[in-house]
Amino acid sequence: MHPSEKEFADLLDYYQINYLYEPRSFPLRWDGSRVVEMFTPDFYLPEYDQYFELTTMKQNLVTQKNRKLRRVREMYPEVNVQLLYRKDLMRLMGKYGFGPLSGVSVEGTERVLFDEALVQRRVRELGAQITEDYAGEEPVLIGVLRGVVVFMADLMRAVDLPVQVEFMEITHYGEERQESLDVIRDVTTDLSGRHALVVEDIADTGLTLRYLREHLQAKGPASLRVCALLDKSVRRMTNVRLDYVGFEIPDEFVIGYGLDYGGRYRNLPYIGVLQPLEPKAVAQR
Ligand code: PRP
């Protein structure tokens, strides 16, 4: 394995995701009956029926790879294959507790994406929608520490229903590399027969939500939905359903309104894009 493949494999292990390494080759061109070109994606995730191809190459080589990938998609339309670029990997690794962001010095906000008034208005709209959808019920709002605290504090006050609020904590992109994702602090309310609504500040790869859904579903709630303030769907690695979304955001590192960089900026009242001093080195989260 290439070192980046090893890192990706470690990440999948962390999230307890099964994978197969290079399990299959797709013939792309033949000379008579002889295969002269084929494509062997690096990873296959059976639970998602998803292939991943990692690339750490120079741009001109990536272009070739992209061409190959297009051909795979044409010839094997039923096959889901995604290319992960070097920057994608760096971002994932950065989240995982090590990586390029840790060494980058930052100034603050490069630009404001959603100002305070806009965020507040959107949160009120989400609250009104939740109030309508759960009319007559007493939902349990479940937040995952720590990024969610600001959003949760505003959202719960925008919901005009009796609600219960719970916070969970999971091992998560810490300083130390964790063996695997785990719940450190669980909900204390009995969820069986209750309407559970997971509240998240951001859905990025979606892996946290996938894990949470599974974990909470096992507690037998009457319903289980997800409300995420920010949806960076372009980064999604797994299909997770988001029932309520505040804003769709571009593939940039965002801070403020609970979201941090290195523990800072959570208390900004707006949501902004991080200003790196070494713009080229920046990676997500
Ligand atoms: C953020 C966020 C989600 C998670 C989403 O947490 O609060 O829990 O990332 O990412 P994913 O979709 O790629 O799994 P973070 O690790 O930044 O911790 P924090 O909430 O303590 O800031």
Domains of the chain: 3-102 (3.40.960), 111-283 (3.40.50.2020)
Ligand 1 pocket mutation pick from 92, 176, 200, 230 by most atoms within 8 angstroms of CB = 200
Residue 144 CB less than 6 A away from ligand 1 = yes
Residue 92 CB less than 6 A away from ligand 1 = no
Phi, psi of 114 (to 5 degrees): -135, 115
| AA letter at 90 | M
Q: Is 274 helix (H, G, I), strand (E, B) or coil?
A: strand
Phi, psi of 80 (to 5 degrees): -95, 115
Tally the residues of the chain.
285
Higher pLDDT, 246 or 35: 246
Enter the tokens of residue 14. 């962390």
Residue of 88, 154, 201, 204 marked active site: 204
pLDDT confidence bin for 94, thresholds 50/70/90: low
| Rg (alpha carbons) of the chain, rounded to whole number | 21
Give mean pLDDT, residues 88-105: 58
Question: What is the b/e burial string over 205-220, where b = at least 16 CB atoms within 10 angstroms of the residue's CB?
Answer: bbbbbbbbbebbeebe
Higher pLDDT, 24 or 242: 242
- Yes or no: say if 127 and 155 are a contact pair by the CB < 8 Å rule: yes
pLDDT confidence bin for 60, thresholds 50/70/90: low
Interior CA angle at 174 toward 259 and 142, to 5°?
A: 55
Ligand 1, closest atom to CA 240?
Answer: 12
Residue 199 CB less than 6 A away from ligand 1 = no
Q: Is the pLDDT of residue 98 over 70?
A: no
88 a catalytic residue = no
- Yes or no: say if 231 and 206 are a contact pair by the CB < 8 Å rule: no
Q: Are strands 81-84 and 50-54 parallel, antiparallel or unpaired?
A: parallel
pLDDT confidence bin for 151, thresholds 50/70/90: very high
Q: Is 259 helix (H, G, I), strand (E, B) or coil?
A: strand
Of 28-32, 40-44, 157-161, 197-201, minimum mean pLDDT range = 28-32
Give mean pLDDT, residues 154-166: 98
Give mean pLDDT, residues 59-74: 83
Q: Is the pLDDT of residue 36 over 60?
A: yes
pLDDT confidence bin for 121, thresholds 50/70/90: very high
Ligand 1, closest atom to CA 144?
Answer: 8
Burial of residue 86 (CB within 10 Å: 0-12, 13-18, 19+) is: middle
Give mean pLDDT, residues 211-237: 94
- Yes or no: say if 46 and 20 are a contact pair by the CB < 8 Å rule: yes
Give mean pLDDT, residues 112-120: 92
Measured from the Cβ of residue 64, the count of other Cβ atoms closer than 10 Å reads: 10
Eight-state DSSP code of residue 162: -
Give mean pLDDT, residues 20-29: 90
User: With pLDDT > 90 as the criterion, what percentage of the chain qualifies?
Assistant: 52
Residue 88 CB less than 6 A away from ligand 1 = no
Res 96: pLDDT: 59
Cis peptide, bond prior to residue 86, ω within 30 of zero: no
